[in-house]
Amino acid sequence: MQRIIATEGAYLFDEDGNRFFDAISSWWVITHGHRHPRIMAAIQEASESYDQIIFAEFTHEPAETLAAGLLDIAPPGLRHVFYSDSGSTAVEVAIKMALGTFHNTGIARDRIVVMEHGYHGDTIGTMSTGERGVFNAPFEPLLFAVDRLPYPEAGREQDTLDAFEAICRQGRVAAILIEPLVLGAGGMKFYSHATLTALREIASRYECLFIADEVMTGWGRTGTRFACEQAGVSPDILCTSKGLTGGSLPLAATLCSSDVFAAHYSSDRRRMFFHSSSYTANPIACAAAVANLEVWRDEPVMARISELAAQHQQHLPRFSGDPRFSSVRQCGTIAALDLAVPAGGYLAEVGPRLRALFRERGLLIRPLGNVIYLMPPYCTSAEQLAAAYDAIDEIASLVLEEQRS
């Protein structure tokens, strides 16, 4: 393992003088680039006045300013903000909000619907809603049952919609929880705007809540600030983290509608929303997130996102029709392609070898098994991205030759 001693822009620097192009944004969190000056200045300034403050009976300016800013940019209908500290907890909060809404209103709905290949976190609740497999098998006795929709393969989208409607007809669905447009850890699987729109329409028709897990897809990754925007979808609950602070500090927020809030707001304390954590609304993290909102407001972030997406479009055609790869695809700033090996999937043996070869060439690229993907920060230059694609081309041939020998 390399020991990193500094970060700057799109690079990590280790103690031996090597630098690594962070082509996956340090697990999808860094948006504008490492150590954006405005965000770092906000962290330093906040630390001169704050450390952690209990967020019960007390509040503070960074959390209030951030909440107002989030509601200004959120999809219509989201009116309240609940803070936590990671993507997993943001989704865990959303699940509890959904179940609590129906429990508190006396309606017998207790089922959560999710999508095949989905990933929502590593807490017990979020593991329950994610794809089951080797990663959560030891915890199976603790996981609760959910209803799973088939992934909407191209040309088979109606199967997914029909399955959702059939489950809704049973009358027990509290909420559908999905990653909009892109299933990240499940293999960078993309699906259509129309499918997302149709899922929302079915949820509305059967009066179940729609939860958008925008932990990874938010903050410009798919080409818009939130992926839901591309499908004209306004969820009842939205989860955000990762890029919320530009990736600088851990922070999460779960936004909800007035109806969800009202279901928990009562003089009867038994109806209150019993969820919090010690670091809820950490003021220094909130200050970083406020600065991130200012970066989005004052800098040409969307232009950078559009340029990065255009650069992907220039490079990807070289791999289309290439027998070494399948499913060459792009969604906004995310590009992915599957290396054609006999044994694919997340645990494909080729994965560690690919990682090592990329690292030797100064690239932080961590394939999901045989799925090679790029999700770089928005400060990425054309030269940096071109070098990453050249390395993919070279290393794919090397690994496939090793497999044949």
Q: Which CATH number fits the domain that encloses residue 382?
A: 3.90.1150.10
pLDDT of residue 155: 96
Gap between the Cα atoms of 242 and 256, Å rounded: 18
Same domain, 261 and 114: yes
Same domain, 292 and 305: no
Task: Write down which residue in 270, 298, 326 finishes a domain.
Answer: 298
Distances in Å between the Cα of 99 and the Cα atoms of 268, 349, 370 are 18, 40, 37
Burial of 142 (0-12, 13-18, 19+ CB in 10 A): exposed
Contact 216, 242 (CB under 8 A): yes
Run of H or E including 67:
helix 61-73
pLDDT of residue 348: 80
Same domain, 278 and 339: no
Same domain, 262 and 350: no
pLDDT of residue 269: 85
Global confidence as pTM: 0.97
Q: Angle at CA 259, nearest 5°, toward 257 and 262? A: 110
| Tokens (6 digits) for 154 | 């191209």
Instruction: Name which of 12, 380, 336, 399 is nearest 188 in CA terms.
Output: 336
Give the helix ranges, DSSP H, for 134-185.
157-169
Task: Write down which residue in 298, 317, 342 finishes a domain.
Answer: 298
Same domain, 136 and 188: yes
Same domain, 249 and 390: no
Same domain, 120 and 253: yes
Same domain, 243 and 369: no
Same domain, 145 and 211: yes
pLDDT of residue 23: 98
Same domain, 227 and 275: yes
Same domain, 177 and 307: no
Same domain, 285 and 257: yes
pLDDT of residue 284: 98
Run of H or E including 43:
helix 37-47
DSSP conformation letters of 122-134: SSHHHHHHS--ST
Count of domains for the chain: 2
Range of the domain at 172: 38-298
Gap between the Cα atoms of 11 and 41, Å rounded: 19
Residues 6+ apart with CB under 8 A from 279: 52, 85, 285
Query: Quick one: DSSP state of residue 343?
Result: S
What amino acid is encoded at 97 in this protein?
M
Gap between the Cα atoms of 290 and 42, Å rounded: 8
The tens-digit pLDDT sequence of the chain (405 residues) is: 889 999 999 999 999 999 999 999 999 999 999 999 999 999 999 999 999 999 999 999 999 999 999 999 999 999 999 999 999 999 999 999 999 999 999 999 999 999 999 999 999 999 999 999 888 999 999 999 999 999 999 999 999 999 999 999 999 999 999 999 999 999 999 999 999 999 999 999 999 999 999 999 999 999 999 999 999 999 999 999 999 999 999 999 999 999 999 999 988 888 888 888 899 999 999 999 999 999 999 999 999 999 999 999 999 999 999 999 999 999 999 999 999 998 878 778 899 999 999 999 999 999 999 999 999 999 999 999 999 999 999 999 999 999 887
Q: Which CATH number fits the domain that encloses residue 170?
A: 3.40.640.10
Task: Write down which residue in 298, 324, 340 finishes a domain.
Answer: 298
Distances in Å between the Cα of 233 and the Cα atoms of 30, 66, 236, 244, 252 are 25, 23, 10, 20, 21
